Chains A and B, each alone.
Chain A
Amino acid sequence: NAGVTQTPKFRILKIGQSMTLQCTQDMNHNYMYWYRQDPGMGLKLIYYSVGAGITDKGEVPNGYNVSRSTTEDFPLRLELAAPSQTSVYFCASSYIGRYGYTFGSGTRLTVV
């Protein structure tokens, strides 16, 4: 069981560039989430999805977009990267919405 897989693990972007952070889960979980973790801080919710075709904003959605075309995949799109988006990004999934998450291993993104 792979769990939640995130790619890439590391990435350096230049200001204004765009990229997509990939997230795939193989547990048939309904719910998927994207969080960011800034240095010395806790995680903050960017976007989440309750199923294929349904997404909603979290606490810090500005500068990001998501889509959920399948149960397995929940990519996070950064358009026009800014230094403020330098962070570690975690994807997570859960089933039924009442139990602990399964987190991916994270993507460390630096915008220079």
Chain B
Amino acid sequence: AQKVTQAQTEISVVEKEDVTLDCVYETRDTTYYLFWYKQPPSGELVFLIRRNSFDEQNEISGRYSWNFQKSTSSFNFTITASQVVDSAVYFCALSEAKEVGGAQKLVFGQGTRLTINP
């Protein structure tokens, strides 16, 4: 069975600090997708990134970066120079890819609540 674990329930840092959110996953599939979503206080879910299991290159998007390591089944998310607007709950999710064009059923971690203090 697939499982996603976000061991950090809450993180609180001061603005401009760097912060890393951990994500560890379990799957028996060789082909799968990993995601990060942001849920700000307003409650909507915002897609941040999708990574497939064959692509272990790290990705950087502005102040955000992601580190994917298959050897440790981890897909960690780092925010550099954090800002108050980064305060949100962040979810890591996993999707199997058993068939071409198949439905993308997501398994979510329990989320990490990130608070950036001014």
Contacts and interface: CB of A to CB of B under 8 A. Distances in A.
Interface string A79-112: 0000000001010101011111111011000000
- Helix, strand, loop or mixed for chain A's interface? strand
A43 interface: yes
A33 B45 CA distance: 14
Nearest to A56: B103
A41 B44 CA distance: 15
Nearest to B43: A106
A43, A45, A56, A58, most chain B CB atoms within 10 A = A43
B43, B106, B109, most chain A CB atoms within 10 A = B106
Contact of A97 (B91, B101, B108, B110): B101
- Helix, strand, loop or mixed for chain B's interface? loop
A42 B43 contact: no
B97 A98 contact: yes
Given A97-B101, A100-B50, A45 B44 contact: no
Interface size of B as a range = 20 to 34
A64 B43 CA distance: 23
A31 interface: yes
B62 interface: no
A5 to B, nearest CB: 12
Given A88-B43, A103-B45, A106-B44, A58 B109 contact: no
30 contacts: A31-B103, A31-B104, A33-B103, A40-B110, A41-B110, A42-B4, A42-B109, A42-B110, A42-B111, A44-B108, A45-B105, A45-B107, A48-B103, A48-B105, A50-B102, A58-B105, A88-B43, A90-B45, A94-B104, A97-B101, A97-B104, A98-B101, A99-B104, A101-B45, A101-B104, A101-B106, A102-B47, A103-B44, A103-B45, A105-B44
Given A42-B93, A43-B45, 7 more contacts: A43-B91, A45-B106, A48-B103, A90-B45, A98-B97, A98-B104, A103-B45
Interface of A: 31, 33, 35, 40-45, 48, 50, 56, 58, 88, 90, 92, 94, 96-103, 105-106
